[in-house]
Amino acid sequence: MNPSDDNYSAFHGLWRDHPVLVQLLGLSPLLAVTTTLANALGLGLVTLTVLLGSSVTCSLLRRQLNGALHLPMLLLIIAAWVTCAELLVRAYAYPLAQALGIFLPLITSNCIVLSRAQTIAARHPIGTAALDATVIGSGFLALLLIVGAIRELFGRGSLFADMHLIFGDVARDWLWQPFDGDYTLLILSMPAGAFLLLGFLIASKNFLDSWLLPSSESPPEKPITGSKRVRTTGKIN
Amino acid sequence: MTVKTAPNRAQWLRLLGIALLIGALVTTLEMLTRERIVASQTSAELDYLRQVLDPDDQGAAITFKKWPIVSRKLELLGLSEGDEMHIALRAGQPIAAIIPSISNAGYGGAIKLLVGIDFTGHIIAVRVISHRETAGLGDKIELAKSDWIEAFSKRSLSNPDTKYWAVEADGGIYDQFTGATITPRAVVNQVAATLQFFADERAALAAQITSQANPEARE
Ligand SMILES: Cc1cc2nc3c(=O)[nH]c(=O)nc-3n(C[C@H](O)[C@H](O)[C@H](O)COP(=O)(O)O)c2cc1C
């Protein structure tokens, strides 16, 4: 988790230390909002922006952000970025703000944002912080898109519904409805189905890991330094 | 990493400084975006009302007026004191009433409807605003899931006759869904109640609106 460790690479956020698949952070927006690809894309982009903005800000102010009050300061900065993002979405994509509802302001409490601000941004120069935020945010966005696409396709029988919420009127005829709503797996459109799907995705990642890197061939893993809680799934040393 | 010592004065001042700076920035952005947000809100509200009007009546020529619902029959609509409807006007003449109506007879809870009725007492369109019916069973009342809700268009209290204003299972003309009769029954009965409400209020309403539009006409 620390760039000075041999273990850290900014790109681990995409797979090895994925914020959701490994750290199990940011679950509530993931389960609640991903009923369609459009909602997933909207929430993922706003989260990426907030993550990048707050990481850069925390890195710039890192000399002030220490001591007993560093947590309230980080939260203030994150909440400010979320408020700005919410104002802009409401001004320029009002229907998207309506579709995301409470999960737009709730990005403030997304632990992915806070954990990156605390462990990386508040301790490292701006380049490291920005790269880390971009990678982590993209990993989160990619997973939202995968979950959103699967849930929309098999839960509603469509893809690209409501894309006009993000891309405007040109996107109104992007809707692709390969099968009728009567032939869908309803559970996928509910949070319980999203939870099961996430479980399958985590299991698939662990399977791929063990298949690509059979433990006999892989070099003995170094214990990961720092808090053990950063890894919640997979191999925990 | 966890700092156990109590924060000192300098740290509190730093927190205050950051809070003030951020407050100023966010307030500035709020002022810059306020006008646009209000405009987006208004346009979303107009879209909300227009969904129960004729597709031909969508231009700027149609204006909307908030109208208090003062009636002893408020509970017929499932509404409470202070709830409002909208009157759609073309060149000052009322063309439709847009009435919110809530059924409490749904399977999963309240079903909130928006009913557009023209001043001859015919339904223009009905839309479900929110509901908690079971996905796959009761949710075909949404236009996104099925065109069932379009069956109300052009209907009135005399078409069909009041006694046929019911789902087929109750001897009426409206389809129920396979394995789900409760939801469509709740919607059909609520739409009928809304029509009844409007029929009782229409004459008084039309008179009030025209007299308000041209105050001299009353003398
Ligand atoms: C879990 C569950 C959910 C149901 N959800 C609905 C619903 O949303 N709307 C509805 O009308 N009926 C629903 N039903 C069915 C009703 O209980 C009732 O059986 C049905 O409306 C009667 O329709 P029928 O006369 O066509 O069988 C549900 C039943 C179960 C077991």
Distance from CA of B33 to the nearest CA of A (A): 6
- What pLDDT is stored for residue A36 in this prediction? 92
Residue A9 pLDDT > 90: no
A133 or B76: whose pLDDT is higher?
A133
Non-local CB neighbours of B50 within 8 Å, separated by 6+ positions: B57, B58, B62
Compute, in degrees rounded to 10, the torsion defined by CA atoms B85, B209, B200, B173: -60
Distance of alpha carbon B21 from alpha carbon A183, whole angstroms? 54
- What pLDDT is stored for residue A134 in this prediction? 95
Residue A152 domain-assigned (yes or no): yes
Residue A27 domain-assigned (yes or no): yes
**Side chain identity, residue A88:** L
Residue A220 domain-assigned (yes or no): no
Domains of chain B, by residue range, sit at 1-51, 59-218
Residue A226 domain-assigned (yes or no): no
Residue A203 pLDDT > 60: yes
Residue A162 domain-assigned (yes or no): yes
Which segment of A22-36, A73-87, A122-136, B31-45 scores lowest on mean pLDDT?
A22-36
Compute, in degrees rounded to 10, the torsion defined by CA atoms B30, B34, B38, B44: -50
**Averaged pLDDT, A165-189:** 84
Residue in B151, B153, B99 with CA at minimum distance from that of residue B124? B153
* Chain A interface, best mutation among B2, B20, B26, B43, by max A CB count within 10 A: B26
Domains in chain A, number: 1
Given pLDDT bands bounded at 50, 70 and 90, which one contains residue B219? very low
Residue found by looking up tokens 């997973």 in the block: A143
Residue A119 pLDDT > 60: yes
Distance of alpha carbon B54 from alpha carbon B121, whole angstroms? 14
Q: What is the mean pLDDT of chain A?
A: 86
Q: Which of A116-120, A226-230, B115-119 has the highest mean pLDDT?
A: B115-119
Given pLDDT bands bounded at 50, 70 and 90, which one contains residue A165? confident
What's the CA-to-centroid distance between B107 and ligand 1, angstroms?
7
Q: What is the DSSP letter of A223?
A: P
Q: Give chain A's radius of gyration (CA, Å).
A: 19
Note whether B68 contacts A: Cβ–Cβ < 8 A: no
Residue A234 domain-assigned (yes or no): no
- What pLDDT is stored for residue B217 in this prediction? 43
List chain B residues with CB under 8 Å of A61: 18
Q: What is the pTM of this model?
A: 0.81
**Averaged pLDDT, A116-127:** 90
Distance from CA of A187 to the nearest CA of B (A): 9
> Domain limits at A76?
11-215
Residue A1 pLDDT > 50: no
Residue A185 domain-assigned (yes or no): yes
Residue A188 domain-assigned (yes or no): yes
**A116 CB neighbour count, 10 Å cutoff:** 27
Stretch 43-102 of chain A: residues touching chain B, C-beta under 8 Å: 61, 64, 67-70, 72-73, 76-77, 80, 83-84, 87-88, 90-92, 94-95, 98
B111 or A2: whose pLDDT is higher?
B111
3-state secondary structure of B147: coil
Compute, in degrees rounded to 10, the torsion defined by CA atoms B6, B8, B14, B19: 50
Distance from CA of B113 to the nearest CA of A (A): 18
Which segment of A56-70, A205-219, B30-44 scores lowest on mean pLDDT?
A205-219
* Chain A interface, best mutation among B5, B35, B40, B42, by max A CB count within 10 A: B40
